[in-house]
């Protein structure tokens, strides 16, 4: 199954709705908002981890895979969520963090206390020499990917935070344990799974230094990753369910293999190349305006490439790890509504399954914090220190963190203009941007021209139109640096999607907008009322024949 008529909504429970007044979102808060989610028309609700965790990496450091962290509720709450969502036509999709555990996990605690059986669950190595780690690999959050563990006299590998030791998937016991974890949640009624950094589970046969980077190219899409995924899907009994892999530093060829139904691995894959077009010199922590020409090239390569290889994309801009796209590729001040709508349309008409991240559908923006003390994200706090050590001033470092921090996506969902944005009755764990007073669900539900109602139109259109679900894709305006445009075709019918990614009037290079109307196309959707001769700031126009 390709899930080509489905739309997934991602929920970050900690920031979605606080039901008990402790400043943290929880499972009962999600239950309270199911009517809203149903009104959006979405099919699957992907919840990021709510398992017991010390929260060094906001729940992606899992201490117990088969339980609910008390701060989010209990298993009874989860069971009610599955049933109530199901009654409203929505299915639950869970986030499985199977590349690494928390240091607090029972397996790791047993390993460092001398249990040789559990030591084989992790990647433990001797150093090159006393005090020297086995390789020069760097972890995703900065610093060495190795941590010395004095209790056992070994280094353990952590490709992410130091509190997240990597599991050793070469051990069949590990693979069996993890399949049982997935099966546990499947048996509780979960109907889909997102697998965190799943293409990093198969490490290289020989561990060596990376002479041209930070190591990622050596352990991404490793030698046994495809066989491990096929085995997991089979042993967990999840073939036919919606499954998506988060693929770090991946390539098109591997993502075709991951998502081609004939390979029995995953339904679709997340890739992130399109979200690096504003990384100066490829560095996340160096700022530059987004390179729209590069963005278009990446979209074309992946959309057409997956089409030709029978692969399937998960299409998205936002998630819990990314800054808000309207602040990043749009204009969150003068053209917030126009750019939010344009960005949404630019991917919702593409070939793939669209993912909506909470708050995206109302145009939520970056946090715009004025002090480093307002941040909570471990990556942001680490890199603030790194930037200062590199010679950046506090203001320069804060500006970079303000653009790049994962906390931008984790601010509480903005439900209303009430205090704390209707998220909680107390000061929440992370503060909201001041604009919650105007950007919120309550305001937008009552505005026919709101970003929210535009998203509802997009979701409904996908469900009702086979051309979006199944049509081929071809890119046009390929030499136009300001515009991303493409045609979807099916059985002689065409949809033309034209998006201006700039905040000024822009000419088309191949045809004018009126040329399309003269040739029998009619405008069926857009973010401006009347059709002009050329594109206005952040304009999107959709034509059909």
List every span in the chain annotated with CATH 3.20.20.80: 8-100+171-458
Strand order in the sheet with 91-96: 268-270, 242-246, 192-195, 91-96, 44-47, 8-11, 353-357, 314-315
What confidence score (pLDDT) does residue 58 get? 87
Residue 256 and residue 352 in contact, taking contact as beta carbons nearer than 8 Å: no
What confidence tens digit (pLDDT) does each residue in 155-202 have?
999 999 999 999 999 999 999 999 999 999 999 999 999 999 999 999
> Which one is catalytic: 18, 61, 69, 246?
246
Please, is 511 exposed, middle or buried when counting C-beta atoms within 10 Å of its C-beta (0-12, 13-18, 19+)?
A: middle
Residue 291 annotated among the catalytic residues of the structure = no
Query: So what's the pLDDT on residue 362?
Result: 98
**For residue 106, what is the enclosing H or E element?**
helix 106-112
The alpha carbon torsion through 330, 335, 338, 341 (nearest 10 deg) reads: 40
Q: Does domain 8-100+171-458 have CATH number 3.20.20.80?
A: yes
Of 77, 196, 265, 332, catalytic: 196
Q: So what's the pLDDT on residue 189?
A: 98
pTM: 0.97
CA-wise closest residue to 342 among 482, 139, 512: 482
SS (H, E, C) 14-47: HHCCCCCCCCCCCHHHHHHCHHHHHHHCCCEEEE
In this prediction, residue 1 carries a pLDDT of 72
The whole-angstrom distance between residue 27's C-alpha and the CA centroid of its chain comes to: 20
> DSSP letter at 504?
S
State the pLDDT at residue 216.
Answer: 87
pLDDT one-digit tens code per residue, 225-284:
999 999 999 999 999 999 999 999 999 999 999 999 999 999 999 999 999 999 999 999
What pLDDT score does 2 carry? 78
Determine the CATH number of domain 471-544. 2.60.40.1180
* Residue 383: HSE in the Cβ half-sphere, 13 Å Cα cutoff: 26
State the Cα–Cα distance between residues 483 and 472, nearest whole angstrom: 20
Q: Which two tokens stand for residue 419?
A: 């205090």
Identify the segments of the chain with pLDDT beneath 50. Answer: none
Report how far residue 279's alpha carbon sits from residue 391's, in angstroms, rounded to the nearest whole number.
Answer: 19
According to the model, what pLDDT value does residue 276 have? 97
Beta strands at 154-157 and 192-195: parallel, antiparallel or unpaired: unpaired
In this prediction, residue 378 carries a pLDDT of: 87
- Other CB atoms within a 10 A radius of the CB of residue 206 amount to 6
* Phi, psi values for residue 68, rounded to 5°: -110, 130
Total residues found in the chain within this entry: 545
For the domain made up of 106-157, give the CATH fold.
Oligo-1,6-glucosidase; domain 2 (3.90.400)
CB 539 within 8 A of CB 342: yes
Span(s) in the chain for CATH 2.60.40.1180: 471-544
Q: Is-contact 160 102, C-beta < 8 A? A: no
CB 176 within 8 A of CB 236: no
Q: How far apart are CA 483 and CA 212, in angstroms?
A: 34
Residue with tokens 């997935």: 182
Distances (CA, A) of 388 to 141, 370, 395, 532: 16, 17, 10, 48
Is 533 catalytic? The answer is no
Q: What are phi and psi of 270, to 5 degrees?
A: -95, 130
Domain with CATH 3.90.400.10 in the chain: 106-157
């Amino acid at each position: 199954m390709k899930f080509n008529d489905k739309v997934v909504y991602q929920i970050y429970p900690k920031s979605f709705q606080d039901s008990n007044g402790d400043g943290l979102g929880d499972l009962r808060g999600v239950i309270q908002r199911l009517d809203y989610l149903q009104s959006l028309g979405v099919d699957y609700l992907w919840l990021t981890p709510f398992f017991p965790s010390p929260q060094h990496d906001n729940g992606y450091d899992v201490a117990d895979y088969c339980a609910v962290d008390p701060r989010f509720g209990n298993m009874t709450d989860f069971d009610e969520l599955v049933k109530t969502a199901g009654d409203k036509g929505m299915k639950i999709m869970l986030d499985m963090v199977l590349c690494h555990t928390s240091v607090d996990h029972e397996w790791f605690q047993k390993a460092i206390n001398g249990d040789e059986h559990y030591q084989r669950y992790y990647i433990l190595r001797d150093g090159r020499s006393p005090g020297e780690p086995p390789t020069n690999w760097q972890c995703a959050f900065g610093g060495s990917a190795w941590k010395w563990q004095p209790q056992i006299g070994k280094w353990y590998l952590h490709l992410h935070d130091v509190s997240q030791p990597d599991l050793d998937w070469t051990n069949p016991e590990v693979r069996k344990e993890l399949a049982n974890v997935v099966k546990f949640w499947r048996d509780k009624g979960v109907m889909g799974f997102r697998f965190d950094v799943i293409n990093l589970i198969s490490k290289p046969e020989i561990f060596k230094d990376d002479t041209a980077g930070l190591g990622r190219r050596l352990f991404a899409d490793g030698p046994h990753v495809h066989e491990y995924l096929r085995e997991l899907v089979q042993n967990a009994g999840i073939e036919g369910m919606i499954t998506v892999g988060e693929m770090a530093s991946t390539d098109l060829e591997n993502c075709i293999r991951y998502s081609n139904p004939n390979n029995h691995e995953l339904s679709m894959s997340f890739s992130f190349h399109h979200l690096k077009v504003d990384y100066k010199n490829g560095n996340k922590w160096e700022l530059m305006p987004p390179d729209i020409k590069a963005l278009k090239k990446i979209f074309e390569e992946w959309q057409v490439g997956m089409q030709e290889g029978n692969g399937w994309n998960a299409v998205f801009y936002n998630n819990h790890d990314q800054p808000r796209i309207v602040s990043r590729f749009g204009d969150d001040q003068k053209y917030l509504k126009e750019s939010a709508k344009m960005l949404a349309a630019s991917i919702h008409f593409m070939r793939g399954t669209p993912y909506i991240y909470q708050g995206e559908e109302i145009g939520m923006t970056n946090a715009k914090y004025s002090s480093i003390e307002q941040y909570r994200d471990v990556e942001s706090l680490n890199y603030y220190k790194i930037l200062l050590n590199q010679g950046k001033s506090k203001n320069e470092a804060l500006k970079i963190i303000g653009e790049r921090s994962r906390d931008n996506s984790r601010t509480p969902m903005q439900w209303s203009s009430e205090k704390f944005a209707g998220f909680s009755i107390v000061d929440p764990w992370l503060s909201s941007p001041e604009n919650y007073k105007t950007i919120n669900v309550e305001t937008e539900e009552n505005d026919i021209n709101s970003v929210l109602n535009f998203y509802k139109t997009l979701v409904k259109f996908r469900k009702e139109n086979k051309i979006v679900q199944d049509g081929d894709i071809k890119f046009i305006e390929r030499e136009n640096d300001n515009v991303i445009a493409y045609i979807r075709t099916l059985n002689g019918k065409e949809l033309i999607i034209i998006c201006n990614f700039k905040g000024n009037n822009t000419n088309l290079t191949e045809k004018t907008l009126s040329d399309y109307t003269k040739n029998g196309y009619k405008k069926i959707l857009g973010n401006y009322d009347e059709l002009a001769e050329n594109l206005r700031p952040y304009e999107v126009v959709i034509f059909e024949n």
